[in-house]
């Protein structure tokens, strides 16, 4: 005989397909000896049998339900429908996958005109009993008899008004009795029948309704969207109700086995004496901390503490537990993995290893790398309420307060005076870099998560909000308008780059701190991971941060950032404006010692770890003033001061800006293409690197720089640039009399380079995947245009699953990376490979890099801890088939 109905003690946690997720969990808890209120589950197969029988409960199912019911009555010592001490039950749906849209829970089934009186006497609280009865009628009518709740709510409202009450708690037992009469009238009117008084009839009607809800419109749509097969069916859980409001020996509460905010190993929760679950949530009475239960009900408390321990050991996870005490007897209603903050997740994972509950690998899998970001930046103290001014994109995490300024020079000036500023711009460009350096945070009204402001701010670990279109920024008038509010130059604002929220005034902050547990977890991660983690850093300060966060090398020094320092820009401009080679060499000679000292600083901070330096990449016009602004200045001078030398200078500048203007700079004269036109620039940069190496060699340091040529698409480009660098090395070696090691490689950021990587590898000692540009060139998107115009709607409309600039497109861009690694290593087995695009700090992309056999990932210094953890998870996941389950808040 097929079994359709299982008492909780007849099932277990593995029987999800038969019992549904909820039923299997209730069975599991019962089996490990927890005091779960008794009950039974009608299987998913019964649901299918119901449909096969033309939407009717087969007699075999019916008889098994009746048998299970009497077993339940025996266990509880109560009977359904007993007027003195009635058994009441809840009815819940429960499919294999949790499915919103299925039937709502019915509580207190079994209530009728007789049992309500029994309940009133038992609880010495007739008011509670009648309130429960009217709730039951309302719920039952809504979900089972399909009568709109509106009719009930309207009647309730009218009654309250008539009595002059403002809220439900003012209603007395007599008032509820009156409402119940009215409710029954509604039922009669809509169904032409009386409200069912027979509890067994109620029960079977409810079971029918659960089965029917499997095929309601919402459930069908949900299944289609989530590819859940229609044949699975739903189970039905029938469970006896327990009451926490049966007097002062009863109560109800919620507790976590460890503190969900700090992770401290101490019960954390609260309860109310003589109350039902709803009272705890409603907040009318203030719950007591769980520890005081020890004095009020010592026996129950001890049993609860033991149960918590047992649950943690069983599930090997921090649990979030709902419990009720009925007349001195403890019942566990629900347990699940507790949500927690990043800080708590780390502490719990580490302490569970120390307590021998889980192993290190599992601990590493328990913490979501993305969440670590919270801990590495200064953040707003949650104790303070936020009054929002506007909300933009959370472009770079962390929070900052400062005075509003509207241009980079002002930012630099005020910051030099010791003021804290937030740089507010419609968008930023490389010209604003000094302002970004000086500001506490950046706020733009345009641009996306990978706009210039976002990328630079993340690299520096500064708070940044982008694309906040609600702000009307008037740079000239130095004011921001948001609806009818106006913020002017110098006003204080606070931005939260983790949420995108902007607030007026100053809000207290919490400083980041790497806890001991965090350091320990990262040390374990380093033992597991098979791929190194480097950082992208352009100066000694960032390099130091990277080293502190555990980077074992620099994967990308963007040398152009060294050209953008305010003191150097005029020399760089002079170099660009030079008409002749000799003139240009003069400016380059001035720049050389500056770059050299930057390199020395970075090498020193990295203490012998590899440093990968990329030669100049952006088009030259990025170092010159904006064409339109320059034109305005020239025109003004022509009118006001036509003979001034300044005009001559500006006209020359304008001519050069026009010459250098490009239709599509992303695909224009940049990277190694510049190096081919002006080899003297690369020569100067290479020499600066080698002089730095030679100088430090005097102190006994052994530095092996990796020199990287950007934007190579054809092997011949690399071949020529390699020669320039090698010549520079020979020259410096001869001049200084010092020998040193170095390698020369290339970025792979053009599809042609990936596809001809076997040829490229002939000239390259290493490859570094520049997946920012490789994504642009593979998709044919210009990043800023895409993010500003269509990418968001592409993602919303699911044309693309994610932003490919944030999460590596493994099917497309990834295929080029795999191809290049494979081809490169056919030419040079063991060729060193890494990634230095932003994807190097994103967990799923790191997993891809591990699978593809890269030697390292490189990301912004602030993401290094996250990348270390993600790299460890990738190894564990693929070597041991373990998978992570994050239960973060």
Strands 89-95 and 106-109, by their bridges, are: antiparallel
Q: Cα(137)–Cα(110) distance, rounded to whole angstroms?
A: 11
CB of 560 or CB of 763, closer to Mg ion: 560
Q: Which residue stretch of 257-265, 270-278, 770-778, 864-872 sits at the interface with ligand PEP (rule: CB under 6 A)? A: 770-778
Q: Does 126 bind ligand PEP (CB under 6 A)?
A: no
Q: Does 749 bind ligand PEP (CB under 6 A)?
A: yes
Annotated catalytic residue within 836, 839, 849, 859: 836
CB of 70 or CB of 844, closer to ligand PEP: 844
CB of 203 or CB of 750, closer to ligand PEP: 750
What is the 8-class DSSP label of residue 356?
T
Query: 659, exposed or middle or buried, with CB in 10 Å at 0-12, 13-18, 19+?
Result: exposed
We find the least distance from the C-beta atom of residue 467 to Mg ion, in angstroms, to be: 22
Selection from Mg ion, ligand PEP, none that 392 binds (CB < 5 to 8 A by kind) is none
Residue corresponding to tokens 């060294």? 562
Q: Which residue stretch of 40-48, 358-366, 656-664, 771-779 sits at the interface with ligand PEP (rule: CB under 6 A)? A: 771-779
Q: Does 619 bind Mg ion (CB under 5 A)?
A: no
Q: Does 836 bind ligand PEP (CB under 6 A)?
A: yes
Annotated catalytic residue within 38, 377, 434, 452: 452
- Bridge partners for 329 per DSSP: 326
- Bridge partners for 859 per DSSP: 535
CB of 300 or CB of 455, closer to ligand PEP: 455
Strands 832-835 and 766-769, by their bridges, are: parallel
Q: Which residue stretch of 527-535, 747-755, 779-787, 851-859 sits at the interface with Mg ion (rule: CB under 5 A)? A: 747-755
Give, in degrees to the nearest 5, the angle at Cα 837 between 824 and 776. 90
Selection from Mg ion, ligand PEP, none that 111 binds (CB < 5 to 8 A by kind) is none
Strands 89-95 and 86-87, by their bridges, are: unpaired
Q: Does 770 bind Mg ion (CB under 5 A)?
A: yes
**Dihedral sign (CA 251, 152, 108, 50):** negative
Residue corresponding to tokens 């080899």? 679
Q: Cα(454)–Cα(658) distance, rounded to whole angstroms?
A: 28
> Which residues between 301 and 330 bind ligand PEP (CB under 6 A)?
none
Contact (CB, 8 A) for 479 and 405: no
Among 410, 773, 809, 842, binds Mg ion (CB under 5 A): 773
Q: Does 371 bind ligand PEP (CB under 6 A)?
A: no
Give all strands of the β-sheet with 89-95 in edge-to-edge order. Answer: 5-7, 39-42, 234-240, 89-95, 106-109
We find the least distance from the C-beta atom of residue 837 to ligand PEP, in angstroms, to be: 3
Query: Which stretches does DSSP call E strand in 364-471?
Result: 379-380, 388-391, 393-396, 399-405, 421-425, 441-444, 463-466
Q: Does 338 bind ligand PEP (CB under 6 A)?
A: no
Q: Does 873 bind ligand PEP (CB under 6 A)?
A: no
Give the x-and-dash track for 605-644 against ligand PEP (CB under 6 A): ------------x---------------------------
Q: Cα(588)–Cα(576) distance, rounded to whole angstroms?
A: 10
Q: Does 832 bind ligand PEP (CB under 6 A)?
A: no
Residue corresponding to tokens 């007739």? 126
**CB atoms closer than 10 angstroms to residue 612:** 25
We find the least distance from the C-beta atom of residue 554 to ligand PEP, in angstroms, to be: 12
Q: Does 770 bind ligand PEP (CB under 6 A)?
A: yes
Query: Which stretches does DSSP call E strand in 741-785?
Result: 743-748, 766-769
We find the least distance from the C-beta atom of residue 449 to ligand PEP, in angstroms, to be: 14
CB of 317 or CB of 773, closer to Mg ion: 773
The torsion angles phi and psi of 190, rounded to 5 degrees, stand at -85, -30
Return the closest-CA partner of residue 592 out of 727, 704, 728, 702: 728
Q: Which residue stretch of 14-22, 490-498, 768-776, 876-884 sits at the interface with ligand PEP (rule: CB under 6 A)? A: 768-776
**DSSP string over 90-128:** EEEEEESS--TTSPPPEEEET--TTHHHHHHHHTT-HHH
Q: State CA 323 to chain mean position distance.
A: 31
Q: Does 11 bind Mg ion (CB under 5 A)?
A: no
CB of 392 or CB of 837, closer to ligand PEP: 837
CB of 319 or CB of 771, closer to ligand PEP: 771
Size of the site for ligand PEP (CB under 6 A): 10
Q: How far is CA 407 from CA 372, 430, 435, in A?
A: 32, 13, 7
Contact (CB, 8 A) for 549 and 865: yes
Selection from ligand PEP, Mg ion, none that 251 binds (CB < 5 to 8 A by kind) is none
We find the least distance from the C-beta atom of residue 781 to ligand PEP, in angstroms, to be: 13
Q: Which residue stretch of 99-107, 294-302, 326-334, 744-752 sits at the interface with Mg ion (rule: CB under 5 A)? A: 744-752
We find the least distance from the C-beta atom of residue 749 to Mg ion, in angstroms, to be: 5
CB of 107 or CB of 836, closer to ligand PEP: 836
Strands 319-326 and 251-256, by their bridges, are: antiparallel
CB of 749 or CB of 838, closer to Mg ion: 749
Annotated active-site residue 836? The verdict is yes
Among 558, 584, 832, 863, binds ligand PEP (CB under 6 A): 558
Selection from ligand PEP, Mg ion, none that 771 binds (CB < 5 to 8 A by kind) is ligand PEP
Q: Cα(92)–Cα(451) distance, rounded to whole angstroms?
A: 49
Selection from Mg ion, ligand PEP, none that 451 binds (CB < 5 to 8 A by kind) is none
Annotated active-site residue 314? The verdict is no
> Which residues between 386 and 405 bind Mg ion (CB under 5 A)?
none
**CB atoms closer than 10 angstroms to residue 869:** 30
We find the least distance from the C-beta atom of residue 600 to ligand PEP, in angstroms, to be: 23
Return the closest-CA partner of residue 205 out of 242, 236, 180: 236
> Which residues between 101 and 120 bind ligand PEP (CB under 6 A)?
none
Q: Cα(126)–Cα(117) distance, rounded to whole angstroms?
A: 7
Q: How far is CA 672 from CA 179, 621, 717, 719, in A?
A: 82, 16, 7, 11
Q: Does 772 bind ligand PEP (CB under 6 A)?
A: yes
User: Which are the contacts of 648, defined by CB distance < 8 A and separation ≥ 6?
Assistant: none
Q: Does 837 bind ligand PEP (CB under 6 A)?
A: yes
Active site residues: 452, 836
Binding site for ligand PEP (CB under 6 A): 556, 558, 617, 749, 770-773, 836-837
Binding site for Mg ion (CB under 5 A): 749, 770, 773
């Amino acid at each position: 005989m097929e079994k359709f109905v299982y008492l909780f003690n007849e099932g277990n946690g593995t029987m999800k397909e038969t019992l549904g997720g909820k039923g299997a969990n209730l069975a599991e808890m019962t089996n490990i000896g927890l005091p779960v209120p008794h009950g039974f589950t009608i299987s998913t197969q019964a649901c299918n049998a119901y449909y096969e029988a033309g939407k009717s409960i087969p007699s075999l199912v019916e008889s098994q339900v009746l048998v299970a019911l009497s077993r339940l009555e025996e266990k509880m010592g109560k009977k359904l429908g007993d007027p003195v001490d009635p058994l009441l039950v809840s009815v819940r749906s429960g499919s294999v996958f949790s499915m919103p849209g299925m039937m709502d829970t019915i509580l207190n089934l079994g209530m009728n005109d007789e049992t309500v009186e029994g309940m009133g006497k038992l609880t010495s609280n007739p008011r509670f009993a009648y309130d429960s009865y009217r709730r039951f009628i309302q719920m039952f009518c809504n979900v089972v008899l399909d009568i709109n709740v509106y009719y009930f709510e309207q009647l309730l409202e009218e009654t309250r008004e008539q009595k002059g009450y403002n809220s439900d708690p003012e209603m007395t037992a007599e008032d509820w009795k009156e409402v119940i009469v009215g409710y029954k009238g509604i039922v009669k009117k809509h169904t032409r029948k009386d409200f069912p008084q027979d509890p067994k009839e109620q029960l079977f009607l409810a079971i029918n309704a659960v089965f029917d809800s499997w095929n309601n419109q919402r459930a069908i749509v949900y299944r289609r969207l989530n590819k859940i097969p229609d044949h699975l069916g739903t189970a039905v859980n029938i469970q006896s109700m327990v009451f926490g409001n049966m007097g002062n020996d009863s109560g109800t509460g919620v507790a976590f086995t460890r503190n969900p905010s700090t992770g401290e190993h101490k019960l954390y929760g609260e309860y109310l004496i003589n109350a039902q679950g709803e009272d705890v949530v409603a907040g009318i009475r203030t719950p007591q901390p769980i520890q005081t239960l020890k004095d009020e009900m010592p026996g129950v408390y001890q049993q609860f503490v033991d149960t918590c321990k047992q649950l943690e050991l069983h599930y090997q996870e921090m649990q979030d537990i709902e419990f009720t005490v009925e007349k001195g007897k403890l019942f566990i209603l629900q347990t699940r993995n507790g949500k927690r903050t990043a800080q708590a997740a780390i502490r719990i994972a580490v302490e569970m290893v120390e307590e021998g509950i889980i192993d290190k690998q599992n601990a590493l899998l328990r913490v979501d790398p993305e969440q670590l970001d919270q801990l590495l930046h200064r953040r707003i103290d949650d104790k303070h309420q936020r009054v929002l001014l506007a909300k933009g994109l959370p472009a770079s995490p962390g929070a900052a307060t400062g005075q509003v300024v509207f241009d980079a020079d002002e930012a630099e000036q005020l910051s030099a005076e010791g003021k804290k500023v937030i740089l507010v711009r419609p968008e930023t460009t490389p010209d604003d870099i000094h302002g970004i350096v000086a500001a506490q945070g950046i706020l733009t009204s345009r641009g996306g998560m990978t706009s210039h402001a976002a990328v630079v701010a993340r690299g520096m670990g500064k708070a940044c909000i982008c694309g906040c279109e609600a702000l009307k920024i008037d740079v000239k008038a130095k004011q921001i308008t948001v609806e009818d509010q106006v913020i002017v130059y110098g006003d204080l604002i606070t931005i939260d780059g983790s949420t995108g929220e902007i607030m007026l005034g100053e809000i207290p902050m919490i400083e980041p701190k790497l806890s001991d547990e965090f350091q320990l977890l990262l040390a374990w991660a380093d033992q597991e991971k098979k791929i190194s983690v480097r950082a992208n850093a352009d100066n000694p300060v960032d390099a130091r941060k990277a080293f502190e966060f555990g980077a074992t090398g620099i994967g990308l020094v963007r040398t152009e950032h060294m050209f953008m320092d305010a003191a150097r820009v005029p020399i760089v401009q002079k170099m660009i404006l030079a008409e002749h080679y000799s003139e240009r060499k003069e400016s380059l000679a001035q720049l050389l010692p500056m770059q050299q000292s930057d390199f020395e600083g970075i090498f020193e901070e990295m203490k012998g770890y590899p440093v990968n330096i990329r030669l100049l990449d952006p088009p030259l016009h990025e170092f010159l003033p904006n064409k339109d602004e320059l034109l305005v200045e020239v025109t003004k001078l022509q009118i006001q001061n036509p003979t001034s030398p300044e005009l001559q200078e500006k006209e020359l500048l304008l001519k050069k800006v026009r010459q250098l203007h490009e239709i599509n700079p992303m695909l224009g004269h940049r990277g190694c293409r510049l190096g081919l036109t002006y080899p003297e620039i690369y020569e100067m940069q290479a020499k600066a690197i080698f002089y730095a190496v030679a100088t430090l060699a005097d102190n006994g340091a052994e530095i092996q720089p990796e020199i990287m040529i950007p934007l190579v698409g054809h092997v011949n480009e690399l071949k020529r640039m390699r020669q320039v660098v090698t010549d520079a090395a020979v020259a410096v070696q001869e001049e200084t009399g010092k020998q040193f090691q170095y390698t020369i490689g290339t970025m792979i950021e053009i599809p042609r380079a990936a596809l001809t990587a076997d040829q490229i590898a002939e000239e390259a000692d290493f490859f570094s995947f520049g997946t920012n540009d490789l994504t642009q060139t593979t998709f044919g998107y210009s990043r800023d245009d895409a993010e500003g115009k269509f990418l968001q709607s592409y993602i919303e409309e699911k044309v693309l699953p994610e932003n490919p600039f944030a999460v590596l497109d493994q099917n497309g861009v990834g295929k080029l990376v795999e191809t290049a690694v494979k081809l490169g290593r056919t030419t040079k087995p063991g060729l060193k490979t890494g990634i230095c695009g932003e994807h190097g700090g994103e967990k799923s992309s790191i997993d891809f890099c591990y699978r593809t056999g890269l030697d390292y990932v490189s990301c912004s210094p602030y993401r290094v801890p996250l990348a270390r953890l993600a790299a460890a998870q990738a190894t564990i996941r693929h070597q041991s088939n373990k998978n992570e389950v994050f239960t973060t808040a």
